Structure 1
Amino acid sequence: SAVPIFAANNHLVATLDVSNDLNAPQQHTLALVKMAAQMVENRLFHATADGEIGVHFHVRPEFIGTLWEGVALFDAQGQLQAINRSGQFQFGLPLDQDVLSARRIPFEDIFDESWLAFKQRGLSSEVLFPLRLRNGARLFARASSMQVTGISSKPVQSVPRESAASLELLDSGDPQLKLAISQVKQVLNRDIPVLILGETGAGKELFSRAIHDASVRRAQPFIAVNCAALPEGLIEAELFGYEEGAYTGAKRKGNVGKIQQADGGTLFLDEIGDMPLSLQARLLRVLQERSVTPLGSSKSIPVNFTLVSATNQKLKDKVAAGEFRSDLYYRINGLTVQLPALRQRQDMSRLIQMILQIEQAPQVTLSDEVLAVFAVHPWPGNVRQLHNVLRTAVALADGGVIERQHLTHDFLDEMAVEAERATVLQPVLTLKAQSDEAIRVAMQQQAGNVSAVARQLGMSRNTLYRRLKALHLN
């Protein structure tokens, strides 16, 4: 299993090779070698490239801060000094060090934003924000000041003045979410583990980050691990780390695991219900003893972190089925909070406005028909789906009013399937009839409180008053 290693100037400098007996193949060796080679390349890049301000970016926000993020380094005047290979790939151009030195590419030639505006919003916090390339492609980004030493350039982490994931900003008017936020605030900084329950896309990682940012550990690491995304053969090494020579493919000098990286900060274990049983016992021992032992080592390393876990599964059912350890369940379940599904929330209007702000499209509005569609849609992907739908619709509406034709066929098909399932033998209601029925039900649920109904359905009060008048409900 061999992977090439390139320097910051894109010149081939080495090949990382792991060889083993043909009769004893290691299933995950190549994946580990790729990760190790990427670590070496990243280290080489930061050790040899100069720059005062770094832009960390990726088309998928969850990849920022990982091995696969793009990193572009700029000088104080906004001239591109260096860019790693992942960044070059995302830009779609090969830029070696010689080309950069000759061209002196300014920030504005790459991104659709001024250098001054970027610094003002980027360096004030660690929050991710959308950033567009000049060709219109959309990325997520984070900025950092670069502290240049004799051997490396390292991001200087700043304490955010106000995080976009703050508990206050997440409190957008939904009673169930408000309760969850209130409960979390009561146990902050008391060493009580939090278990977040919620459907996929309901915002569990964002909520966990808000817990971290609201705590006294906010200046320390927030380490997230998706237990469902890592192969079983890799999750143990990823969590606990390993010593040199722990197994075939282990890199020299070993690797610090996620648990140790979270020391002093917060460890977020997403989809913990998918953690293999064999690792559950090791995790329980870490939580009991407050120490971690890397693979291949006999030395225990003390760790101190806040634990936040999340799952979309019913862990009690998994405990009953013998698929999740009961002792670990009670260890992680200090406080359980339930995040509501989007179809259950009463703050649709506020959520829409927040997402439009994130998409830098606050001037965009939604037609009454689209609001009616949103009110009756099942939203299986929850807030993540709402964000994706609005992002696409904003682009298609080109800054104007989002109409039905700006919604994707897949999204509209989901609503039709749900209506079919709900009505069985009855004819499918028209969109207007569904919308009227949603208003009647909401008026009953909210005891005639027009403001509460408007929030629940994502309508303006003027629109709702007009609809109520037509239905003779006012």
Structure 2
Amino acid sequence: MRITLPGSAHIDAVLSHADATSPLAGPGFDPLISRSWKRCIEDYGLDPAKPAPPRFVPRQVLLDHQDQADELLNVARAGVEQLYRHIAELGYVVLLTDSRGITVQFLGHPDDESAHRKTGLYLGADWSEDHAGTCAVGTCIKEQQALTCHHRDHFSAHHISLTCTAVPIFNPQGQLLAVLDISALHSPPSKDSQTFALQLVRQYARMIEDAYFLRRYRDQYILCLDSSREFVLINRHYLLAMAEDGSLLAANTAGRQLLAQCGLELPLRPSALAPRVGVEQLFDCELADILGIPYASADHVRAFRTHRQNALYFAALMEPRRAAPTATAPSSEAPRCALDELADDDPLMRKMLARAKRLCDEPLNVLLNGETGTGKERLARALHDSSRRARAPFVAINCAAVPESLIESELFGYQPGTFTGARSKGMRGLIQQADGGTLFLDEIGDMPLHLQTRLLRVLAEQEVMPLGAEKPVKVDIRVIAASHRDLRQMIDAGQFREDLFYRLNGAILRLPALRERADKGYLIEKVFAELSEQRQRPARIRGDAMSALLGYAWPGNIRELRNVLQYALATCEGAEITAADLPEECLQGVGARQPEAPAPVLEVATGDPGAQLVETLRRHRWNVSAAARELGLSRPTVYRWMKVYDIVPPNAQG
């Protein structure tokens, strides 16, 4: 009796394929797979009957590979995460490998981690063809072509359950830079089922390649070409980097193909000895025509024809990134506004800051809204520093952090002998200390109601009455208040005075959450530079760490970012922060759950707010900290409301 082992038919097919006379070697069989099978047997000496288990490089070796791919990882992160969001629900994972087949970035569902490790679909896996046999990544590297390696296309019987699609990514000189791959543990039997997968991975590989190109040549002219005028500014299919004298320096894959069609080839390494390839050799034009593209028409696009084929292309020109001009005379140099330091290119922030600049010297109080940790105090200080009050005091108080018994004396001050324990000479309150400048009231929603009434008088009369005083004291202050809570809801709930609200919100500025901002990279670098300078310890953030930081949801916003970077600086061994130096929660990647909006605070639409507070406390077994987190309140505020509604924990009842 003949016993057929699992995968034996596949093994027989692979071995017979090594024979050039085999019918498998004839027309109809994928030539990429055919050549790879032959290499596996003849060049690598692999045996399909003895499948090698997945090979993972040691951690330090992986870090070395990630370090060498640092710039690519920085650029590719957004594309890899976006691709994963498209295919995650279909059971695929995403791998980004370097040119040697080592997986330097991986995204997959955590529930399938064991199966992914078992098959090698994981970070640090070696997918080079001479070890793994015919596979999408390894064969893509050898052939430098996109392909799908589906089920029994794989050389090793260990991989025949997988379907993998890989596309090469090239550097601006046309050399293989990386491979983008999506793979699934299970899929339909037909290879045709992966046609869309191949197109999708091609699209994202091109996006990553072009983003890398634009980053590398941002200090040069970049000529963007397309066969359509309407899409040249969006599609930018062909990219050519150009020096000021019109010499072509590099091109993306499509650009190199266009040059080849026109009989032109760029040197692998531009040098003084390499033959010059000028843009005028490609198009029937003068250099001045190219440099004049931004001014040639209303849409900043111009049409050119190639010399050899007389083909029509539409061109747009990206000018080099240039350093900000320096003023020749210090006296003519405009001072940089403190508000400009708070953001880079985030549209929401830029719009808000433009409004803030117009409000700097207006006689209006300002109300700042935003989640906890978004930088409301820093914005308040920047408003102060950018105004005519900049040389006067900036006084800040967190209404949620000061015990209720002290808020009144802290704000309004007191006369000598007003109460037991008071200073013998009395004390000027924070309102008086801010005279001529700015008073910043953080978490204004936590201010007790009776003090809200006194603050309203200060704002209306511009005078303060210290405790124990007989006469009010005139003050000139601007108030900037902030809250992460919905003050309108608090007004409806009877927790905040409506007249005080309208005194405070002469203008409202909203700070977006860190997860909503497009300039997260700028903020990370800025905060990191500040912390490094404070520690007097120069350091840098490596690409894998930056990818993790950019992909994290940041529920604690900028405050949490500062804590994470302080932790990384304190624990890293050298002068470089890697992903291994970050707290574990920052390594959850694209799958990290986005925080929800804060729950409404003590809603009264469905009943008594005191009853809601009791219900929340009971649900958390009278754990005040847990209840405070759910309600979006500080612990002192919860205790304050417990006192207002006479709520006593069961274990404290006599």
Q: Name the TM-score, length of structure 2 as normaliser.
A: 0.38
1:289 has 2:455 as partner: no
- Pick from 381, 387, 404: which aligns with 2:556? 381
* Distance change in 2, residues 1:233/1:170 (3 Å): same
Contact 1:165/1:209, CA 8 A, preserved across alignment: no
What's the CA shift for 1:365?
Answer: 3.6
Q: Which amino acid aligns with 1:393?
A: A
Residue from 360, 363, 379 that aligns with 1:207: 379
Aligned to 1:393: 568
Offset of residue 363 of structure 1: 5.8
Matches within 5 A, 1:29-108: none
Give the structure 2 partner of residue 318 of structure 1. Answer: 490
Q: CA contact under 8 A between 1:165 and 1:206: conserved in structure 2?
A: no
Q: CA deviation at 1:324?
A: 0.2
Aligned counterparts, 1:264-413, within 5 A: 264-360=436-532, 364-412=539-587
The answer for unaligned runs of 5 or more in structure 1 is 1-160, 422-474
Deviation at 1:176, TM superposition (A): 1.1
One-letter identity of the residue aligned with 1:334: G
Match of 2:346 in 1: 174
SS of corresponding position for 1:269: strand
Consecutive unaligned residues in structure 2, runs of 5 or more: 1-332, 597-654
Structure 1 pair 420/220, CA: closer, same or farther in 2 (3 Å)? closer
How many angstroms apart in 1 are the aligned matches of 2:486 and 2:364?
21
Percent identity reads 44
Do the aligned partners of residues 302 and 228 (structure 1) sit closer, same or farther apart at CA in structure 2, a change above 3 Å counting? same
Amino acid in structure 2 at the alignment position of 1:233: S
Q: Partner of 1:193 in structure 2?
A: 365
What are the residue-to-residue correspondences of 1:238-277 with 2, within 5 Å? 238-277=410-449
Q: Give the conservation status (yes or no) of the 8 Å contact 1:241–1:258.
A: yes
Distance 1:389 1:236 in 2: 35
Superposed displacement of residue 419, structure 1: 7.3
Q: How far off is 1:164 after superposition?
A: 10
Whether the 8 Å contact between 1:163 and 1:213 is mirrored in structure 2 is no
Query: Counterparts of 1:198 and 1:163 in 2: how far apart (Å)?
Result: 28
Q: Distance in 1 between matches of 2:520 and 2:582?
A: 17
Question: Residues 163 and 310 of structure 1: is their aligned pair in 2 closer, same or farther, counting only changes over 3 Å?
Answer: farther
Q: Which residue number in structure 1 is paired with residue 74 of structure 2?
A: none
Q: 1:349 to 1:163 in 2, by over 3 A?
A: farther
Question: In 2 relative to 1, CA 364–251 (structure 1 residues): closer, same or farther, beyond 3 Å?
Answer: closer
Q: Structure 1 counterpart of 2:423, which letter?
A: K
Which whole-Å deviations, capped at 9, do the CAs of 1:408-443 have from their partners, x for residues lacking one?
Answer: 23544798773799xxxxxxxxxxxxxxxxxxxxxx
Residue 218 and residue 169 in structure 1: after superposition, are their counterparts in 2 closer, same or farther (change >3 A)?
same
User: CA-to-partner distance for each residue in 1:169-226, whole Å, 9 max, x for gaps?
Assistant: 1132211111121111112212111111111111111110001100111111111011
Residues 419 and 211 of structure 1: CA distance in aligned 2, closer, same or farther (over 3 Å): closer
- Shift in alpha-carbon separation, 1:420–1:241, aligned structure 2, 3 A: closer
Deviation at 1:370, TM superposition (A): 2.5
Cα distance between partner residues in 2 of 1:162 and 1:324: 42
Residues 282 and 218 of structure 1: is their aligned pair in 2 closer, same or farther, counting only changes over 3 Å?
same
> What letter matches 2:506 in structure 1?
G
- Asked whether the equivalents of residues 552 and 592 of structure 2 are also in contact (C-alpha less than 8 Å), the reply is no
> Is the 2:343–2:523 contact (alpha carbons within 8 Å) kept by the matching residues of 1?
no
Name the CA distance, whole Å, in 1 between partners of 2:595 and 2:479.
42
Q: Is the 8 A contact 2:545 2:579 kept in 1?
A: yes
Match of 1:135 in 2: none
**Pairs aligned (count):** 261
Kindly report which structure 2 residues correspond to 1:461-472, keeping only aligned pairs within 5 A, or say none.
none
- Tell me the CA shift for residue 378 of structure 1: 1.6
Does the C-alpha gap of structure 1 residues 342 and 236 become closer, same or farther in structure 2, counting only changes over 3 Å? same
The farther-off stretch of 187-196 and 318-327 is 187-196
After the TM superposition, which residues 158-173 of structure 1 pair with which residues of structure 2 at under 5 Å, given as runs? 166-173=338-345
Q: Cα distance, 1:253 vs. partner? A: 2.1
Q: For residues 395 and 355 of structure 1, what CA distance do their matches in structure 2 show?
A: 15
Amino acid at match of 2:550: A
Shift in CA distance, 274/290, structure 1 to aligned 2, threshold 3 Å = same
Root-mean-square deviation over aligned CA pairs: 2.6
The 1:414–1:309 alpha-carbon spacing in structure 2 relative to 1, beyond 3 Å, is farther
Deviations 1:265-307 (A, max 9, x none): 1000000010000100000011001100001112100000111
Distance 2:590 2:423 in 1: 50
Kindly tell me: are residues 376 and 356 of structure 1, through their superposed partners in 2, closer, same or farther at Cα, counting changes over 3 Å?
closer
For residues 243 and 207 of structure 1, do their structure 2 counterparts lie closer, same or farther at Cα, with a shift above 3 Å needed?
Answer: same
Distance 1:343 1:302 in 2: 43
Larger Rg: 2
The answer as to whether partners of 1:270 and 1:310 remain within 8 angstroms in 2 is yes
How far did residue 368 of structure 1 move?
Answer: 3.6
Change (3 A) 1:163 1:328: farther
Greater mean deviation of Cα atoms: 173-182 or 339-348: 173-182
Offset, 1:404: 2.0
Q: Secondary structure at the match of 2:440?
A: strand
Give the counterpart letter for 1:329 in structure 2: F
Call closer, same or farther: CA 1:274–1:312 in 2, change over 3 Å.
Answer: same
Give the superposition deviation at 1:375. Answer: 2.9
- 1:371 CA drift (Å): 2.9
Match of 2:593 among 413, 418, 430: 418
d(CA) in 2 for partners of 1:255, 1:165: 35
Distance, in Å, in 2 between the alignment partners of 1:374 and 1:205 is: 23
Q: TM-score, normalised by structure 1?
A: 0.52
Distance 2:391 2:461 in 1: 25
Structure 1 pair 165–237 and aligned structure 2 pair: CA distance change class (3 A): farther
* Counterparts of 1:226 and 1:355, CA distance in 2: 22
Letter in 1 for 2:492: A
Q: How does 1:117-128 map to 2 (within 5 A)?
A: none
Give deviations 1:328-355, integer Å, cap 9, x for gaps: 0010001101111110011111112212
The answer (yes or no) to whether the contact 1:212–1:266 under 8 Å persists in 2 is yes
The answer to which structure, 1 or 2, has the higher relative contact order (CA under 8 A, 6+ apart) is: 1
Amino acid at match of 2:425: K
Distance 1:170 1:412 in 2: 26
Deviations for 1:20-77, whole angstroms, at most 9, x for unmatched residues? Answer: xxxxxxxxxxxxxxxxxxxxxxxxxxxxxxxxxxxxxxxxxxxxxxxxxxxxxxxxxx
Asked if 1:221 is matched to 2:393, the reply is yes
**Contact 1:165–1:207 (CA under 8 A) maintained in structure 2:** no
Describe the SS at the equivalent of 2:395: strand
Matched AA of 2:345: G
Which whole-Å CA distance do the structure 1 matches of 2:558 and 2:394 have between them? 22
> Is the contact made by 2:549 and 2:586 (CA closer than 8 Å) also made in structure 1?
no
Give the direction of change, closer, same or farther, for the CA distance of 1:264–1:165 in structure 2 (3 Å limit): same
Give secondary structure in 1 for the equivalent of 2:457: helix
